[in-house]
């Protein structure tokens, strides 16, 4: 578990993947929080049977629209293509869509020109933005093995021919002391807010609490009056609700920074 103790502000518990941990802690500290961090999500590269077809359609110009739902999707796509520059040049001749500013930024850093980013950073927001413009179009989606079916189903319903390739998967890291210390800090009520950024994070966290034999106690603490439970977006909030955990804050913008800003407002912190 990584923590900071030199800041007198409230303490937030975060569980983001290791690759985002330092940046996430910095965002929390700049917002005026102390941080307890232990990743409950692990990101693993994956190449499924649909990947080569996806690459071929892009290179041959047979795909009309390519959708990336996360920065991880971009990284794990480019890691597997045979010639990165040729693939990126081919992408730039198509309509390329990114869900969220982090995804767009990751694409642009690699030289990928993003044609469009929906105003709502979610699969539902993208479907609403595209609507029937996808009718008759060939759409390729590169994303994780845990992507919501909504995006594929709704685009098909709008008349698009949709292909999906899973370029990475999300797993639970092997149980370690840092994770157990984070759970214990919540039980000890030395944490003021707990931040959840995906449904899988919620499930992994509760699975760990079950293994420790404290699941019911953890849920009781999360539901206590002085605890702030924050979720990125309604899918994550709905998962928490499914486990009978009350959510204090749901960020409308699907970014970690926006969610921390909402928590900051909840605590009335005046730091910039």
**pLDDT tens string 36-49:** 999 999 999 999 99
Query: Could you tell me the CATH number of the domain that includes residue 234?
Result: 3.40.50.10090
Question: Which residues of the chain carry a pLDDT beneath 70?
Answer: 1-8, 120-122, 270-272
> Vertex 34, ends 28 and 39: CA angle to 5°?
65
- In sequence order, what are the residues at sequence separation of 6 or more whose Cβ sits closer than 8 angstroms to the Cβ of residue 223? 244, 245, 246
Is residue 119 situated within a structural domain?
yes
pTM for the model: 0.76
Cβ 163 vs Cβ 138: under 8 Å:
yes
Any bridge partners for residue 98, and if so which? Answer: 68
Residue 25 within a domain: yes
On whether both 166 and 180 belong to a single domain, the answer is no
pLDDT in tens, 129-156: 777 778 899 999 999 988 778 889 988 9
The domain total for the chain is 2
Q: What is the pLDDT of residue 7?
A: 45
Same domain, 36 and 50: no
Residue (of 156, 165, 214) closest to 186 by Cα position: 214
Give residue 28's pLDDT: 96
- Is the domain of 118 the same as that of 131? yes
CA distance 131 to 257: 29
The predicted pLDDT at position 260 comes to 95
**Residue 272: inside a domain:** no
Show which of 103, 138, 171 is a domain's final residue: 171
Flag whether 159 is in a domain. Answer: yes
| Domain presence at residue 109 | yes
pLDDT at residue number 121: 61
Same domain, 101 and 121: yes
Q: What is the pLDDT of residue 88?
A: 97
Residues 58, 116, single domain; the answer is: yes
On whether both 129 and 231 belong to a single domain, the answer is no
- Whether residues 153 and 212 share a domain: the answer is no
Residue 16 falls inside a structural domain? yes
In a domain, residue 6? The reply is: yes
CA dihedral 202, 208, 210, 212 (to 10 degrees): -150
Quick one: 19 and 118 in the same domain? no
Last residue of a domain, one of 132, 155, 171: 171
Sign of the Cα pseudo-torsion (242, 243, 246, 247, in order): negative
Domain extent for 83? 44-171
Predicted local confidence at residue 233, as pLDDT: 84
- According to DSSP, the β-strands at 34-37 and 2-3 are antiparallel
> Residues 162, 178: one domain?
no
List 139's β-bridge partners, or say none: 65, 162
Compute how many other C-beta atoms are within 10 angstroms of the C-beta atom of residue 54.
22
């Amino acid at each position: 578990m990584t923590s900071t103790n030199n800041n007198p502000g409230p303490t937030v518990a975060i569980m983001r993947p290791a690759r985002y941990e330092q940046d996430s802690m910095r965002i929390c500290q700049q917002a005026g929080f102390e941080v307890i961090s232990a990743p409950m999500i692990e990101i693993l590269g994956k190449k499924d049977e649909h990947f080569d077809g996806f690459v071929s359609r892009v290179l041959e110009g047979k795909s009309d629209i390519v959708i990336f739902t996360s920065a991880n999707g971009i990284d794990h796509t480019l890691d597997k293509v045979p010639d990165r520059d040729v693939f990126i040049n081919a992408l730039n001749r198509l309509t390329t869509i990114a869900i969220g500013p982090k995804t767009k930024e990751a694409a642009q850093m690699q030289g990928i020109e993003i044609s469009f980013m929906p105003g709502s950073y979610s699969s539902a927001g993208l479907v609403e933005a595209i609507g029937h413009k996808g009718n008759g179009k060939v759409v390729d989606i590169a994303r994780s093995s845990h992507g919501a079916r909504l995006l594929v189903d709704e685009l098909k319903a709008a008349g698009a021919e949709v292909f999906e390739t899973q370029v990475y998967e999300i797993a639970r890291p092997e149980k370690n002391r840092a994770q157990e210390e984070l759970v214990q800090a919540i039980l000890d009520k030395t944490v003021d807010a707990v931040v959840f950024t995906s449904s899988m994070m919620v499930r992994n966290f509760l699975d760990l609490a079950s293994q420790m034999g404290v699941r019911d106690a953890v849920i009781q603490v999360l539901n206590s009056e002085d605890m702030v439970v924050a979720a990125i977006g309604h899918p994550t909030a709905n998962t928490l609700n499914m486990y009978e955990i009350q959510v204090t804050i749901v960020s409308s913008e699907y970014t970690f920074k926006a969610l921390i800003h909402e928590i900051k407002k909840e605590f009335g912190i005046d730091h910039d």
